[in-house]
Amino acid sequence: MPGGARILAALYLGSGATGLCYEVLWSRMLIAQFGVSILGVATTVVAFLLGLGLGALLATRPRLRLAPTRSLQTFAALELAVALYALALPAINADLAPRLEALAPLLAAAQWHSLQALVSLLLLGLPAAAMGASFPMVLRAFAWSPALLGRVYGLNCLGAAAGALLSLALLAAWGWASAVQIVAALGASIAAAAALLARTAIWRAAPAAPVRIDAPRAAGGALGLRVWLSYAAVGACALMLEMAWTRLYALVMLRTEYVLALILAVYLLGTAIGSLLAARAQNLRRLATAVPLTACACTLAGLWALPHLSVWIQEQHFTSLTQALGVQALALGLCTLPTTAALGAWLPLLARTDGGGAPEDAVALYGANCLGAAGGAALTVLVAIPVVGTTASVALAAVLMLCLGLALGAPRALLLAVPLALGAAWALREFPAPQAMMPAQSDPGRQLFRYEDAVSLNHVTELPNGQRVLLTDLQHMDASSDPAAVQIQADQARLPLLLHPVPRSVLFLGLGTGISASGSLVYPRLQRTAVELSAGAVIAAQTWFAPVNGGVATRMDLVHDDARHYLAASTQHYAVIIGDLFHPDLAGMGNLLSVEQFARARARLEDEGIFVQWLALNQFDRETLHTVLRSFQRVFPDAVLFLDGMHLALVGSPHGRQRAGDVLHGHADLDAQQLDQASGGEGALTWLGRYWGPIAAGIGAVQREARPVIEFRLPQLRYQDDSPLAEILLEMLRRRPDADTACAQLGIAPEQRSGFLNAYLASELSVQSWIAALGADRDHARELTRLAYEANARDRWIASTLADELFAAAGHEADPAASRAALTQVLRVFPEHVEALRALWHLQRAQGDAQAEATLARLRAAAPLDREARAGVALAPERATNGN
C-alpha cells in the first residue's frame, strides 16, 4: 500500500473512533434529556444507523462518484461538518431541552416516547448521514479492489472499538460537554489532515482509482435485490444480537458504565477481525459456508455457556476493577468474538464473491446492512424482547443467520444444519432460572415469577424458609419479605411522613415490592402516587408481595414511567416526595442523584413540602457520598440528615429546616395509637434522636447529568478489600452536632428534652457499636449496644441487635426451663424476633403447652410468609432455616 493510502487508512481508523465517540456521547445526551430507558437508547441507535445507511446510499448517486482526490477532499469536508455540528449540539440541546420539557405535561408516555424518537432522528440523523457518506468517499479514494472493502471496513470498526473505550474515559475524566469538545477537536484534526493529504505530492503519486459511472446492477444480478434484502436482514440479526447481548452480559457482569462500553468494544473488535481476515481469505466457497455456520453455532454455544459464565464470574475474587474488566473482557470475547467475526466477514465476502464489482455495489450492501440494522434494533426492543424474551431473541437471530447464509450463496449442504439449529434454539429459548445463574452459596431460591420487557428483567424467588425476594436484572436484590427487611423498607415512608405536619399527598419515586410504601398505610386521608418504570415490579407488588405490603398497590395511583420524565411532565404538587433506595453504580442511575433531578423534585413540592432521598451508606465511599450531599444541598441549602441504621435520609424543603413540633404535635388526623404506628412502634422521639444535623460536605464536585461523577467511581468499591463504611461512620460522628446544638436546631421543647437526649445518645452509641463491630472488636460492640438499649429501649435497631446477641446465648441452654426463660428474655427485648418465636413455639409444642398456638399466631404476624408459620407444622431443620 503506497504511503498516501497508509495515511488515509490511519485517518479512517481515527474517523471510526470519533464516530463511535459521537454516538456514545450523543446517546448519553438524549438519555439525560429523556430519562433512563432502553427505549431512549434504542431510538438513538436507530437514528444513527438510519443516518449511516441513507448517507452511504445517497453518496453512490452518479454525480457523487468522484475522482480519488475529490473523494478525499469530500471526506475531509464531511468530517469537519460533523465536528462543527458536534460543537453546536450542546447549544442546540440547551435551547431545545426547556421547550421539550414544557411539552411534557401535555403528552402521555407513548406520545413522549414518540417525541423522543423524532428528536433522535432529527438530531442524530443528519450527522450520521454525513458519516455514512464518508464510507464511499474513502473507498473511491483508494485504488479499488474487492479485497479493499474488508480492509477499509475492518479498520473503521477497529477504530470504533477503540472509540467505545475512549468515550467512556473522556466522560469519566472531563464530563459530557468537555468530552464532546475533545472529540470534535480530534474530528476536525482528522479533517484537516485529510485535506492536507489531498494536496501533497505523496497523495498525487498514488495509483489512481478507476472512476466508474455505470448504472447500478439489475435486480437479477449478482448483487441484486435478493442479496440486498438478505444482507439487510443480516444487519437486523446483528443488531438483535448486539442489543440482546448487552442485556444478557450486562446482567452477568453488572450493568455499569464500564461494562456497557466493554461489551460494545468487544463486539466491534470481533467485527473488525472478521472483516480483515475475510479480506485475505483464499477459499471463498469454504468461507461462504463457515460464516453463517459459525455465526449460528457460536451464538447458540454462547447461550448455553451463559449460566456457567455467570456463576464463574461471581465466584472469582478480583483485586481491582481493572483486573475484573480485563478478565471479563476475555470471557466475553470467548462467548461473542466468533459470532461477531463471522458477521464482520460477511460484507467483504459478498464483495469478493462478486468477482470485482464496483465500489457502489459494496456501498449498497453497506447501506442495506445499516438500514436493516436500524430495523433490527427497533424490532428487538419493541417486539422481540417483550414478546419472546432476550434469550429467545438471541436464539432466533442464530437460526435466521443460518438461513440467510443459504440465501447469500452458501452451499445447499448447509440445509442439513437447520434442523439441528432449530432444536438447539428451542432448547435454549428460556432465560435460565436464577438458581442456575448464581453460585450455590448465594442461592436465591426457586423461581416463582419472571417478567421481562425492554426496561428490565424481574424475578420473584422463594427462599427455603418461604420468604420472597425481588430480583431486578438478576444481579441485585431489590427487596425481601424477610421481617427485618420489611421494617427497614417501611421506614423509608415513616420518616418523611412524620416530618410533615399534615401530609395529604405523597409521591414515591420507585415502587419496588411496595413494602416501602406500606409505611404510609396508617394515614387514613393520604393520597398516594408511585412512579415505577419496571412493569414487573408493579406486578410483583400487586401479587407476590401483597401479604407483606398490606395491599398498598391497590390503594395508590400507579404511574408506569421514568421518575425523571414524570417529575418534568407532572403539574401536580405533593406534600411529601420520597426517593427510594437504588443501586447508584449501575449505568444511568447516577442521574437520579444529580442536581437536575433534585431540582425537578423541588419543583413538584408544595410550599411546605418535604423531599427525602434515601441512600445506603454501604454503597458509597467518602468522596462519592460528599458529591451527592453537595448536589442535594445545592438545591436545598438548609437540608438536614437523619440516619436510620445504615440508611441515610437527605431531607430538604423549600421552607427550610425541620422542627420537632411538626413531628410531636402535628398529624391531627392521627390519634395517639396511630401516631405510634406511624413511627413503626418506636415513638416520634426515637426518630428525632436519629437527627444528624445539617449537611456539611465541603467544597467539591457535584453530580450533574452533563458531568457525571459517581457512576465512574462507585463500581471500583466492589473490588476493594477494605470497606469505607467505618470511615464514613467515623466522619459522621465527628460532624454530628452536640446534643444541646441539636435541641436548638430542632426546637425541642423543655418537656421533651429528656426523652430526646436519651434517643439522641442511643443512636450515637449504636453507630459507635457498628464501628467497633466493623473493626472486629466484638466485646466493645456488645457493650455499646447494651448501653444504647438502656438509653432508648424503643429503638428497633438497637433492640433487634441486642436480641440477636441474647438469642445466640440462648442456644447454649440445655435445660428446657432455662431455654424457655432465655427465649422469653429475648422476646421481652424485641417482641418480633422471628427465630426466638420459632424456637419458643417448638419448645411449647414439645411440652404440650397450650400457649403454643398463641406463639404461632405471633410468629405468623411477624412473618406472614414464613413456611413453618403458614403450615402450622414444624418442618425439618434443613427446610426451616432462614435461607438468607
Beta carbons of 226 and 365 less than 8 angstroms apart: no
CA distance linking residue 79 with residue 528, whole number of Å: 52
Task: Give the cell for residue 143.
Answer: 485504488
Beta carbons of 33 and 93 less than 8 angstroms apart: yes
Q: Is 35 left (phi over 0), alpha (psi -120 to 50) or beta?
A: left
pLDDT in the model for residue 219: 35
pLDDT in the model for residue 92: 82
CA distance linking residue 566 with residue 600, whole number of Å: 9
Angle at 810 between CA 809 and CA 812, to 5 degrees: 75
Task: Give the cell for residue 169.
Answer: 474515559
pLDDT in the model for residue 279: 87
The model carries a pTM of 0.89
CA distance linking residue 33 with residue 682, whole number of Å: 42
CA distance linking residue 175 with residue 456, whole number of Å: 27
Residue stretches of the chain with pLDDT short of 70:
1-3, 30-41, 97, 101, 104, 109-110, 112-113, 116, 201-223, 354-357, 475-478, 657, 661, 665-666, 668, 812-813, 874-884
**DSSP structural state of residue 409:** T
CA distance linking residue 249 with residue 836, whole number of Å: 42
Beta carbons of 780 and 772 less than 8 angstroms apart: yes
Beta carbons of 641 and 650 less than 8 angstroms apart: yes
pLDDT in the model for residue 220: 36
Amino acid at 272: A
Structural domains in the chain plus CATH codes: 1-208 (1.20.1250.20), 221-432 (1.20.1250), 477-736 (3.40.50.150), 811-880 (1.25.40)
